C-alpha cells in the first residue's frame, strides 16, 4: 500500500506544478495573470514599482539655459511685490516691469468731474482709502479718474461693483493701450533641481503664468 501513497503524492505534485505554470504564463507565455482571492488586498502599481520609478507629472518649472523664469503678470505693483516677497524666501527673486500692448482692455473709471478741483477732491478721497487711481489730464476724458485697466472682464466688473457700493459712480469702457505688467523674475542659479517651492507657489496662483525670457528683459520696478 506504501507505493499507492507515494504515487498519490507524485500525482498531486505534478498537478500543482501544471496549475502554477498555467497561472504565471498564458498560452503565449508572455503575459502575467494575477488572481486575487475574495477579500484579498490588491497591490497598487505605485507600491510595486516604488514612487521613484513613476513619471513626474509636474509642469516644468526649472530654468532653461540662457533664460530666466518669469512669473506673472500682475496689474498691481503691490500684489507683485507681495508675490516677490513670498518667492524670495526660497529664491533670488526680483520685480520687473514689462511694457506690453493690449488689444482689448476694460478701463474702469470715475466719469469726468465738472472741474479740476472736484476731481482732485475725489482723487484724494480714493487714495486715502488705498484705491490706486490717477486723474486723466487731457482729451475728452480730462478730469476723469482712472481706476485701472483690466484684461479680465470679471475683474473690471468686480471693481465697478465694489466702488459703486462705496458711493462712487463708475463706468467701464473697452479700449486698447500699452500697459505695464509686473512680473517676478527668478535668478536661475538660485533654483534647485526640484523647485518645489516654485511648484507650490504656482499651484496657489492659478491665474499666473510661468514664462522664460532673457534675463535682461524688463526694467526694475522702482
3-state secondary structure of 46: helix
Report pLDDT digits (tens) over 87-103. Answer: 999 999 999 998 887 77
H/E segment holding residue 139: none
Q: Residue 66 sits in which domain range?
A: 37-222
Report pLDDT digits (tens) over 186-216. Answer: 988 888 767 888 889 999 998 899 998 888 7
Strand partners, 172: 108
Task: Give residue 216's pLDDT.
Answer: 76
Q: Is residue 10 part of a domain?
A: no
Q: Is residue 24 part of a domain?
A: no
Q: CA 166 to CA 147: how far, in whole Å? A: 14
Report pLDDT digits (tens) over 121-179. Answer: 999 999 999 898 999 998 899 999 999 988 889 999 999 999 999 999 999 999 877 77
Q: Is residue 138 part of a domain?
A: yes
Strands 134-135 and 209-214: unpaired
Q: Is residue 55 part of a domain?
A: yes
Query: How many structural domains does the chain have?
Result: 1
Q: CA 159 to CA 93: how far, in whole Å? A: 29
> Which residues, 6+ apart, have CB-to-CB distance to 100 below 8 Å?
178, 179, 180, 181
Task: Give residue 40's pLDDT.
Answer: 35
Q: Is residue 13 part of a domain?
A: no
Arithmetic mean of pLDDT, 6-11: 52
Question: What number of other Cβ atoms are within 10 A of residue 142's Cβ?
Answer: 13
Res. 64: pLDDT tops 70: no
Long-range contacts: 115-119, Cβ < 8 Å, 24+?
Answer: 115/143, 116/143, 118/143, 119/143, 119/144, 119/145
The alpha helices in 25-73, defined as continuous H runs, are: 45-49
Q: CA 144 to CA 110: how far, in whole Å? A: 6
Q: Is residue 46 part of a domain?
A: yes
Q: Is residue 11 part of a domain?
A: no
Q: Is residue 73 part of a domain?
A: yes
Report pLDDT digits (tens) over 31-61. Answer: 333 343 333 333 332 333 333 333 333 445 5
Q: CA 63 to CA 188: how far, in whole Å? A: 6
Phi and psi at residue 152, to the nearest 5°: -100, 120
Percent of the chain exceeding pLDDT 90 equals: 40
Amino acid at each position: 500500500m506504501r507505493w499507492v501513497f507515494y504515487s498519490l503524492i507524485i500525482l498531486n505534485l505534478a498537478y500543482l506544478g501544471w496549475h502554477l505554470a498555467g497561472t504565471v504564463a498564458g498560452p503565449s507565455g508572455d503575459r502575467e495573470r494575477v488572481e486575487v482571492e475574495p477579500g484579498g488586498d490588491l497591490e497598487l502599481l505605485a507600491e510595486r514599482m516604488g514612487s521613484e520609478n513613476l513619471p513626474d507629472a509636474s509642469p516644468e518649472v526649472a530654468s532653461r539655459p540662457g533664460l530666466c523664469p518669469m512669473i506673472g503678470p500682475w496689474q498691481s505693483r503691490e500684489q507683485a511685490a507681495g508675490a516677490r516677497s513670498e518667492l524670495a524666501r526660497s529664491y533670488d527673486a526680483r520685480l520687473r516691469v514689462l511694457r506690453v500692448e493690449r488689444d482689448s482692455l476694460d478701463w474702469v473709471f470715475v466719469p469726468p468731474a465738472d472741474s479740476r478741483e472736484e476731481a482732485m477732491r475725489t482723487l484724494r478721497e480714493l487714495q486715502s482709502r488705498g484705491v490706486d487711481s490717477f486723474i486723466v489730464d487731457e482729451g475728452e476724458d480730462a478730469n476723469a479718474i482712472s481706476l485701472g485697466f483690466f484684461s479680465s472682464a470679471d475683474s473690471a466688473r468686480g471693481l465697478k461693483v465694489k466702488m459703486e457700493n462705496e458711493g462712487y459712480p463708475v463706468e467701464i469702457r473697452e479700449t486698447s493701450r500699452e500697459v505695464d505688467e509686473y512680473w517676478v523674475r527668478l535668478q536661475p542659479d538660485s533654483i534647485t533641481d526640484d523647485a518645489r517651492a516654485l511648484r507650490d507657489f504656482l499651484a496657489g496662483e492659478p491665474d499666473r503664468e510661468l514664462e522664460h525670457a532673457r534675463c535682461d528683459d524688463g526694467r526694475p520696478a522702482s
